[in-house]
Chain A
């Protein structure tokens, strides 16, 4: 077998093992180990085991993920979410899918500030999903909206992915930031439209709440509305005014949640312990997948499969639209297994010369590329946002349900993408004015 064949065989074996219900991180890691040994040699495969796990995990910037998980768990354990969602139920009760739409807005805002999909999913899975389930929302809708809304964080500035893309392709980060706003908002609007339409057509998805509330109930809800907004605004405000960085924001968020809970006297020692243990459990189960995925990305790079695929798909196409469609296909395919940054690193050197040859605007393409890469965060079999939600909620939801729920958002994204591709002005209007 040549290395390309080993790469393809690796993907097939991984798919089979995942279907047989072996743990996702284990599958990725073990297939990567075998594949790297087959392509190079045993010593090299052991070398990867030394080089990756500890060094990948020991990153300051990754620490935001467990800290946002902790924030979410504490907020949920201490009931910081009750008042806001009770009020939302009263106000939005009759709007089809109202809670899901509100969640999309809130987590898109949060994601835009934190700049990380995974961190947002970590924060909101415990904050929003159980509240929606309480209102009898189908778990696919409840989890899908959190998984998908997180992906908007990379589109709406600031965004680490846009920064990396800008540096990597030598495109103005300022222009990319400005360009991302409208497509980001458009994506959120499209999500909300989809949620509303689907819930309107199928009321079992998100039952409307037609219970009448007494004055006292309404007052009680309203009086307790502040904790969650205070928490989220505290985190967002601190990031935007530069008091702390997005990496530090997770710990601040957790600390702030504890403070607010202490103010409300709603935090028991037991609840803290539970939140902390659950955070540890969630952190381990998510990052073992991330380790496997990182090893798998090395295996893919070594197999030259992404290059071969790019070459195969792009060599014989010469219109801009056809190229973009091919790249979309390529990114969605690679996005099944490989993380956003690795895909960018592996493909941009091949893609960029082609795009430059065609005179494609790299700001426009950047927004489309980021949108495509973020879709990979919620596609099976390896969709990190989905796994974050699953690990936060345990057996309360099934993984298949989350992927199924996310699929509606992916379809919506495809509509948005089509608009962005057909009408570059949507993306380029604002940066044009700024010039």
Chain B
């Protein structure tokens, strides 16, 4: 039977590659019983319409960007906010995956939408990418910056930065013409996403967190109608595809930095003072996060979730130090051992 997998990210994006990889593996593992067709580029579902799209069966599998729908996924939004404190993309992605499966508050939110969480991912670590030579946060004073989260704004405005709203399609020309001085973005902003290598002058490698706001979800009925063996086969494929996707992302990030240097974009290392200021900011930020999330989003106390997420990020950083993070088998084995093999396919997502 043929099913539909969708992503609002364009064809060839890490999400599209992930879905194709998953589809190929599942097709093979099930002898063609489960056959996914991929619809990238939002041709099936727009970014903020993905949740109802999966729930109603427009697609059986898709990635949801929770940041666009915070009132549908306020609990997920907490982990997104928390990811400002992350500085390791892989650890963040895998921690988010683990917490998505095992944290009760997360599961309750997801199941409330008739969705089944199946894995997660993360975009890279954000840095200020600027049209001038930025080498200290103090240079942000009076500069117009495009940010991606409230916490980035909070951090940057401390130094006098002016947050502006620029549509994604205008980042390139904004940097080119000066209606924008900096865009906070990951390495792929320089290449695959926005080609800022052509117009930016510098990247200040002060890690301003990430945006762990993505996850892959399946339609509840689709999931329930599969046999336990099929669900196990899908988990096997998900685990491997998740590993391959994040390893691939990591490689792309490395290539992007090389391309940036080749294009003459200065990669400025952060000063110790700025790193210390950031660490201090992060500590205070995490300490008050649970309360501010309850005030802002009207959710139950997320202290447990925040603790789980912080612990998982630390754990994964440690685990990943022990393996070669370009070794697909090794990373897949870790994901199986820590996450996917621990899930009971007889019961998960079926209540």
Query: Residues of A with Cβ closer than 8 Å to B?
Result: 36, 40-41, 43-44, 46-48, 50-52, 55-56, 59-61, 115, 158, 160, 163-164, 166-168, 170, 172-174, 239-247, 297-298, 301-302, 342, 345-346, 348-349
Kindly count the residue-residue contacts between A and B in the assembled complex, taking CB atoms under 8 Å apart.
Answer: 117
Q: Is A245 within 8 A of B174, CB to CB?
A: yes
Q: Which of A160, A174, A241, A243 is the one whose CB lies under 8 Å from B169?
A: A160
In the complex, what residues of B have CB within 8 A of residue A170's CB? 192
* Apart from the given pairs A52-B46, A247-B170, 13 other A-B contacts in the complex at a CB distance below 8 Å: A43-B56, A44-B56, A48-B58, A51-B48, A51-B52, A55-B49, A60-B167, A158-B176, A167-B192, A167-B193, A174-B199, A245-B166, A349-B12
- Rounded to whole angstroms, the CA-CA distance of A59 and B50 in the bound complex is 16
The stretch of B36-44, B294-302, B307-315 that contacts the partner chain: B36-44
Q: Is B163 an interface residue (CB 8 A)?
A: no
Chain B nearest CB, measured from A201 CB (Å): 41
In the complex, what residues of B have CB within 8 A of residue A247's CB? 166-167, 170
In the complex, what residues of A have CB within 8 A of residue B174's CB? 242, 245
Within 8 A of A (CB), among B26-77: 39-50, 52-53, 55-58
Q: Is B173 an interface residue (CB 8 A)?
A: yes
Q: Is A173 within 8 A of B43, CB to CB?
A: no
**Contact A46 B56, CB 8 Å, known A52-B46, A243-B179:** yes
Q: Is A345 within 8 A of B43, CB to CB?
A: yes
Q: Which of A44, A55, A167, A241 is the one whose CB lies under 8 Å from B57?
A: A44
- Rounded to whole angstroms, the CA-CA distance of A41 and B55 in the bound complex is 13
Interface residues on B, range: 35 or more
- Rounded to whole angstroms, the CA-CA distance of A51 and B169 in the bound complex is 21
A-B complex: 6 closest residue pairs judged by Cβ atoms: A51-B49, A47-B56, A242-B178, A345-B41, A301-B43, A61-B167
In the complex, what residues of A have CB within 8 A of residue B180's CB? 242, 245
Chain A binding surface SS class: helix
Q: Is B195 within 8 A of A167, CB to CB?
A: yes
In the complex, what residues of A have CB within 8 A of residue B84's CB? none
Chain B nearest CB, measured from A214 CB (Å): 45
Of all chain B residues, the one with the shortest Cβ separation from A244 is: B179
- Rounded to whole angstroms, the CA-CA distance of A163 and B167 in the bound complex is 13
Of all chain B residues, the one with the shortest Cβ separation from A174 is: B198
Q: Which of B10, B169, B173 is the one whose CB lies under 8 Å from A345?
A: B10
Q: Is B285 an interface residue (CB 8 A)?
A: no
- Rounded to whole angstroms, the CA-CA distance of A51 and B43 in the bound complex is 12
In the complex, what residues of B have CB within 8 A of residue A297's CB? 43
Q: Is B216 an interface residue (CB 8 A)?
A: no
**Contact A245 B170, CB 8 Å, known A44-B56, A47-B53, A55-B48:** yes
In the complex, what residues of A have CB within 8 A of residue B192's CB? 167, 170
- Rounded to whole angstroms, the CA-CA distance of A50 and B12 in the bound complex is 27
Q: Is B178 within 8 A of A61, CB to CB?
A: no
